[in-house]
Structure 1
Amino acid sequence: MTVEKVERIRQRLTEALAPVELDVIDEGHKHAGHSGEGRGHFFARIVSPAFAGKNPIERHRMVYAALGDMMPDGIHALAIEAKAPGE
């Protein structure tokens, strides 16, 4: 199930933001015993031209918008590193 979530996250971010670099890592193992255990803890590192000229908050909002309904339902926690090319 987690592999499927990682692939869904990758697909949505790719479709929405056309990244030149994208890493999505399942970090659920770091949260054993946490209240959100089993609901998905992920790290996304994304480099996209879409982030050029945007501040960190705007970039995070773009990522959240791309993931849409996955945020409240399939993802409990998401750490984001969002950069424009060359940063």
Structure 2
Amino acid sequence: MSMQQQIQEKISSAIACKHLNVINESHMHGKGTESHFKVIVVSEEFAGKRLLQRHREINEILKDELANHIHALAIHTYTPDEYTEQGGEAPDSPNCMGGSKSS
């Protein structure tokens, strides 16, 4: 199972998602595969929770992957209403500015 699939499975098993998108952004960075990801998680479970609490939940779900495999994780968490207000999109991730990839 790929790291992308593993992330998808772990989040969807722990949170009742209305929308979940796991994007492998490793190609935007230095050599190596499946080390940089962006997750977009839309769930009613986030209602009434602060952004930090939402992010902590995702970090806890993926703690083993973060400790051993994932170098960077962009987390975007929304309630369904918030996601609609965003136009159904999350911000683009910035291009890599360091490591072995030149600008």
What TM-score does the superposition give when structure 1 sets the normalisation length? 0.86
- Which residue does 1:54 correspond to in 2? 49
Q: What are the superposed Cα offsets for residues 12-47 of structure 1, whole Å, 9 maximum, x if unpaired? A: 0001111110000000011125xxx44610000110
What TM-score does the superposition give when structure 2 sets the normalisation length? 0.74
- Partners in 2 of 1:82 and 1:75 — Cα distance? 18
1:6 corresponds to which letter in structure 2?
Q
The runs of at least 4 consecutive aligned structure 1 residues that moved more than 2 Å come to: none
- Partners in 2 of 1:25 and 1:39 — Cα distance? 10
- Which residue does 2:74 correspond to in 1? 79
**Structure (1 or 2) with the greater helix fraction:** 1
Max Rg structure: 2
- Which residue does 1:44 correspond to in 2? 39
Structure 2 segments unaligned to the other structure (5+ residues)? 83-103
Structure 1 segments unaligned to the other structure (5+ residues)? none
Relative to structure 1, is the Cα distance of residues 56 and 66 closer, same or farther in structure 2, using a 3 angstrom cutoff?
A: same
- Partners in 1 of 2:58 and 2:7 — Cα distance? 10
Question: Secondary structure of 1:69's match?
Answer: helix
**Aligned residue pairs, count:** 82
**Quick one: higher RCO (CA 8 Å, sep 6+), 1 or 2?**
1
Relative to structure 1, is the Cα distance of residues 44 and 54 closer, same or farther in structure 2, using a 3 angstrom cutoff?
A: same
1:7 corresponds to which letter in structure 2?
Q
> Quick check: 2:8–2:22 contact (8 Å CA) kept in 1?
yes
- Partners in 2 of 1:12 and 1:51 — Cα distance? 17
Output the aligned Cα RMSD.
1.5
